[in-house]
Structure 1
Amino acid sequence: MSYPAWQPWGGQPAPSMLASTADRERAVDVLRAGFAEGRLERGEFEKRVERAYSARTLGELSLLVADLPQGPVPQQPAVPMAFVPLARQRTNDKAVAAAVCGGLVFFTAGLTGIPAVILGHAARGEIRRTGEGGDGLALAGLILGWVALGTWALGLLSLIVLAFALV
């Protein structure tokens, strides 16, 4: 088996980060394991070990062990966690709608309270099921919706009591 001369594996450009001595030793360990398992002949093994010790970049090392088990684990450059962008969690659309309807109860005399409650409950169920974000928005919509509905119920009850008191 002959190894291609410095062609990027999988057609991808080879990483150009400089290899450390530890990186070279890890590649040689993978080569030794491949030789011990009978995956490499002695001549191929010796040629690859020689290339590993003379390799300058991680890309060159990954080419040498790419076709062996326990092949190269892509090395990520060491970046402080402060500079790594956090993955943003998707916000549930119904939670946003519940919060909007809940916020509008002040401007619609409480009429958007019913959609706020319905959307809030639906959103919280979806959030628990899917792990999406927006639980706080759904809860805010629920609270504002229930407050609006409670205010309407209290107002209607007061009108009924007042009507019977006047009769």
Structure 2
Amino acid sequence: MRASHTDRERAIDVLKAGFSEGRLGQEEYEQRLARASQAQTYAELNMLIADLPQGPVPMPAPQPAYPVVPRTFLPAPPPRTNGSAVGALVCGVLTPMYGLTAIPAVILGHKARAEIRRTGEQGDGLAMAGLVLGWLAIGGILALILILVAAA
């Protein structure tokens, strides 16, 4: 197939890039440039630029400094601690100072234990401690109220 002026210009651009990158010497560049200007077919143009890169050269991907281990062979991350369980324990510990935190300790403790059974998270001991402290505080407050009522 016959080459057009645009095809010759593209080939000349490839030759210019090859020369500016140091892939062609001055004499070889001039010879190829003259032949490209007179080329009549695609085959003639392709012979002149076949050994030169024609566009961005793909770079190999950088290799990591350490071997990549597939996720299947890595240990599973430890299960998370349930946030409600932590909240139950904190409320239970604060009950002697602030008597009102006994009720949230019990509520959060029951909520946390249900979530832990459902999701497999950690923190069942924290939730149980919050529950025990909360119920003890509620029981102590009720006992104190009964003693005061009986004394009156």
Change (3 A) 1:105 1:14: closer
Change (3 A) 1:86 1:129: closer
Give, in angstroms, the shift of residue 85 of structure 1.
Answer: 7.3
Q: 1:11-160 to 2 correspondence within 5 Å? A: 13=63, 87-108=77-98, 110-160=99-149
Q: Return the alpha-carbon distance in structure 2 between the equivalents of residues 117 and 16 of structure 1.
A: 49
Listed as ranges, the gaps of 5+ residues in structure 1 are 1-7, 18-72, 78-83
Aligned residues: 92
Larger Rg: 2
The alignment's TM-score, normalised by the length of structure 1, stands at 0.47
Give, in angstroms, the shift of residue 87 of structure 1.
Answer: 2.9
The alignment's TM-score, normalised by the length of structure 2, stands at 0.52
The amino acid across from 1:99 in the alignment is L
Q: Return the alpha-carbon distance in structure 1 between the equivalents of residues 145 and 65 of structure 2.
A: 72
Q: Return the alpha-carbon distance in structure 1 between the equivalents of residues 91 and 66 of structure 2.
A: 53
Change (3 A) 1:14 1:121: closer
Q: Return the alpha-carbon distance in structure 2 between the equivalents of residues 133 and 105 of structure 1.
A: 23
Change (3 A) 1:136 1:159: same
Superposed structure 1 runs of 4+ greater than 2 Å apart: 11-17, 84-88
Give, in angstroms, the shift of residue 107 of structure 1.
Answer: 1.1
**What's the C-alpha RMSD, in Å, of the aligned pairs?**
3.3
The amino acid across from 1:134 in the alignment is G
* SS across alignment from 2:100: coil
